[in-house]
Amino acid sequence: MAAPTPRTAANRRFDLHRPQIFRVPQNVVRACVLALGSIALVVAAVAWPASAGANATVSKHHHEHHVKKPKLKRNKSLLLGINIPSGASEAEAATAISAAKAIHSRVVRIELRWAALEPVQGEIAPDALAPLENIVNTAAANGLRVITLVQGTPCWASSAPAAIESACVPGAESQANAWPPSNDATFGTFLAKLAAQYRSKLDAIEVWNEPDYAGENYLAGPNKAEAYAGLLKAAYPAVKAVDPEISVLGGAFVGSNGIFLRDLYADGIKGYYDALAVHFYTDTLASLRAIHEVQKQYHDTKPLWLTEVGWPSCYPAEKTQKEQSCVTPKVQAENVVNMTRTLAHTSYVGAEVLYKLTDAGGEDFGALTATGAQKPSFTAIAGVFASPFGNPSPVILRVRHKHGKLIASGSAPVGDLVELEVFKHGKREYLSIFGLTRFNTYSATLPAALGTKGLKIRIHQEGMAPRSGATAHA
């Protein structure tokens, strides 16, 4: 299973340690790009119609307000699952599958290394095959299916430069494994064998891991989009020729700016996947929307599968893990519920696969500790996977006076940016778009020029209608 990609300055959109606030005067129309690193979010500063929600009166004490969310359309096809350890003994596989079944997971996801399974061309290594057999067969016996991410080119197939390839040891991890194969057909042949071996026990095969990542960790070499397109074009027909019911997941990318996806479209990937897999840990909902917008521009109607998303419950002992903001166990549980409920009403998302079942290797993303103890998120996942169609938590708005200014603060469900608007005499005078803290809270001081009276203040998630948020009057 792939660990979360470190979010460096090159691939991180926003630092969620504190709100990122962008203010736009009413007479300015702003457009920027939802992207990684220093590139910001596409926003057009256009006026919204007035909210029909109830209002809160502002005094020297603060008032809290939210409105009932409108009824949302259910995404009944959403596939729910969780990432589990890959290198499992028979007993470990039984424990993991039992836990996955207890939380009402329909699928489990693992990582499979081609380099480990086929260290010599045409020969499957029994020691590497055993953990896969344990998981796939135990899952099938319990009514669960498996999504397997496949990556890692064997030494014999790698296109790595000679200096790197010469250090490659069959069966051992090497930098040469990150390079694509010299002949993509060899990858297709391997996937065909995998599909033939397990057929209906596999729900999907995810092709490679985060090929758009800026480093050389996963897909090395030049022209990454072209190289990845070659892998996908070899994988899809090979799998479908064996079992058309196994889904082939393309993409597997971590970036939400759409650049890599546009390059993939230019390299002709349409028609070679059943869904696009994405790994979005930060601003998850905003990132999904951004990629979906790119899909629409290219008339791509395939669903998005969120095959990695999660939050490390390491706060306050640590502030970050894998450059993801640590949260408390309680917030981790709340995030799981709110994210799943939101995706259960998001029609273009086909799957949510949480990262992950069990803490390991200094990562506290799990619903279980490394010793197998249940965190609050374990119970939360079980509840929301069994009944995912409730509404997420409401947006909360509190407005108070401080030193002659108004301060708007509150909270919102995880994963999206929020828009804070101020209206005066029916005209919008102020717009601020920002991310939430690690605890899904916010606090913003309104400009003194707005005054403190005769104002309507409204806040909502960027991906939701304004009336779904909260409104207050000063």
| 470 has a pLDDT exceeding 90 | yes
Alpha helices by DSSP H, listed for 184-267, are 184-198, 224-242, 259-266
* CATH of 79-386 given 3.40.50.150, 1.20.810.10, 3.20.20.80, 3.30.70.20: 3.20.20.80
Domain parsing of the chain, residue ranges:
21-71+394-473, 79-386
Where residue 222 falls among pLDDT bands split at 50, 70, 90?
very high
Domain 21-71+394-473 shares a fold with domain 79-386: no
CATH assignment, 21-71+394-473 = 2.60.40
**pLDDT at residue 413 in the model:** 97
Token pair recorded at residue 107: 């699928």
**pLDDT at residue 237 in the model:** 98
Burial class (CB in 10 A: 0-12, 13-18, 19+), 385: buried
Mean pLDDT on 263-290: 97
Tell me the residue ranges of DSSP E strands in 30-171. Answer: 63-65, 79-83, 107-113, 145-151
Buried b (16+ CB within 10 A) or exposed e, 205-236: bbbbbbbbbbeeebbbbeebbebbbbbbbbbb
Q: Which residue has the higher pLDDT, 46 or 282?
A: 282
Handedness of CA 284, 287, 292, 293 (dihedral sign): positive
* Backbone Cα Rg of the chain: 24
State the Cα–Cα distance between residues 103 and 387, nearest whole angstrom.
Answer: 11
State the Cα–Cα distance between residues 104 and 110, nearest whole angstrom.
Answer: 17
State the Cα–Cα distance between residues 276 and 349, nearest whole angstrom.
Answer: 10
Task: Give the containing element (helix H, strand E) for 164.
Answer: helix 162-165
Q: Would you call 469 helix, strand, or coil by DSSP?
A: coil
**pLDDT at residue 70 in the model:** 53
**pLDDT at residue 214 in the model:** 86
Top-confidence range, 9-13, 399-403, 428-432: 428-432
Token pair recorded at residue 120: 């010599």
pLDDT digits (tens, 9 = 90+) for 107-116: 999 999 999 9
State the Cα–Cα distance between residues 331 and 62, nearest whole angstrom.
Answer: 24
Whether the model pTM is above 0.75 = yes
